[in-house]
Amino acid sequence: MGKEMLTRDELDFLKIQGLTTADVYDGRGQSSATWKAGVRAAGKTVVLGTPCSSKGHRLRTRSGHCAQCDTAKLSYQKRHNSEGYIYIAGSKSAKLLKVGTCVDIEQRRKNLRYQTYGGISDWEMLFTAKVDAGGKVEGDALSRLSKFKVVRMYDKDGKKQEAAEMLKTCFSVALAAVQESLKGVKATEIRKALKTVDYEFRS
Ligand SMILES: [Zn+2]
C-alpha cells in the first residue's frame, strides 16, 4: 500500500520491524473474517485496520492483535509464518476437519487434543507438509474450502473460548484443496496418514 496512507509513527514502526509498506494489507472497512483471509491470501504481514482500544494504533497482526502495543505478537507471527507445516487434522467423533499451520506437528496435535480445540479431544493429524510460507498456503486452502467452514464457540475450563474454525467436509475434498494450494510452492516432508477412510464423512 502507498506510504501516504500511513502516519510517520507507523512508517517508523515498520522500519524498526524490518518491514515496508509492501508488507501491509489494507483491511480498512472490511469485516474481520474478510481481512483475516485477505491478509493471508495476499501473503502480507500486518493489516491496517480499526484502531486498538488502548492507544489507537492501526497496525494489527494477522490474528488481529495490536502489532504496535505488543511486538511479541509480531515476533510470534514471524516464526509462525517463516518455515512450518501446513496440516489437515480430523476428528472422527465430531466429523470435522481443521486446516492450519504449525511449527511442530506433534506439539500441535497434543495442543489440539489437550486444549480440546472446538470442544473436541480426538484430533488426529491426517496430512502434513513442510512449507516456506505456511500462512499463505493455509489462507489459500481455506479460501478454497470457505463454503465448508463451521464456527463453534466452546467451553474450556468453564470459560467461553474464541470461536474455533473448522471444516465440515470429507478428507479427500480438504486434501484436494490443500494440494492445489501447494502447487508452485516448495513442499517437503509430505506425509499422509494411512487410515484416512474413516474421515471421508458422508452427511
Ligand atoms: Zn495498540
**Cα 48 to middle of ligand 1, angstroms:** 12
108 and 192 fall within a common domain? yes
Q: How many angstroms is it from 53 CA to the middle of ligand 1?
A: 7
DSSP H or E segment with residue 135: helix 134-144
pLDDT at 136: 78
Contact (Cβ atoms closer than 8 angstroms) between residue 128 and residue 86: yes
CA of 164 to the centre of ligand 1 (A): 25
**Residues, CB within 5 angstroms of ligand 1 (ion):** 52, 55, 57, 66, 68-69
- 60: CA distance to ligand 1 center in Å? 8
Look at the chain and report how many structural domains it folds into.
2
Distance 10 CA to ligand 1 centre (A): 11
Judge if 164 and 186 occupy the same domain: yes
* Ligand 1 center to 52 CA (angstroms): 5
C-alpha 151 to ligand 1 mean position (Å): 27
Q: Is pLDDT at 131 greater than 70 in this prediction?
A: yes
Tens digit of each residue's pLDDT (9 = 90 or more) over 52-97: 999 999 999 998 999 999 888 887 777 656 678 999 999 999 999 9
Same domain, 107 and 189: yes
Q: Are residues 67 and 145 in the same domain?
A: no
From the CA of 20, how far away is ligand 1's center (Å)? 19
Ligand 1 center from residue 64 Cα (angstroms): 11
Give residue 174's pLDDT: 97
Q: Do 19 and 53 belong together in one domain?
A: yes
From residue 147, give the alpha-carbon distance in Å to each of 77, 103, 141, 166, 174: 26, 27, 12, 11, 12
93 and 25: one domain? no
3-state secondary structure of 158: coil
Q: Is 92 found in the same domain as 60?
A: no
State in Å: Cα 58 to ligand 1 middle: 7
Task: Report the separation in Å between the CA atom of 141 and the middle of ligand 1, taken as the mean of its atom positions.
Answer: 30
Among 61, 81, 101, the domain-final residue is 81
Domain end point (choices 52, 81, 110): 81
User: Of the residues 22, 48, 81, which one is the last residue of a structural domain?
Assistant: 81
In terms of domains, do 194 and 101 share one? yes
Cβ-based burial of 153 (10 A; exposed 0-12, middle 13-18, buried ≥19) = exposed
pLDDT in tens, 162-190: 767 899 999 999 999 999 999 988 899 99
Assess whether 53 and 96 both reside in one domain: no
Kindly tell me if the per-residue pLDDT of 196 is higher than 80. yes
Q: Choose among 132, 128, 135, 133: nearest CA to 179.
A: 128
CA atoms within 13 A on the CB side of 39: 26
Compute, in angstroms, the gap from residue 62 CA to the centroid of ligand 1: 14
SS3 25: strand
105 and 146 both lie in a single domain: yes
* Residue ranges making up the domain that contains 121: 84-199
Q: Are residues 158 and 145 in the same domain?
A: yes
Contact between 129 and 182 under an 8 Å Cβ cutoff? The reply is yes
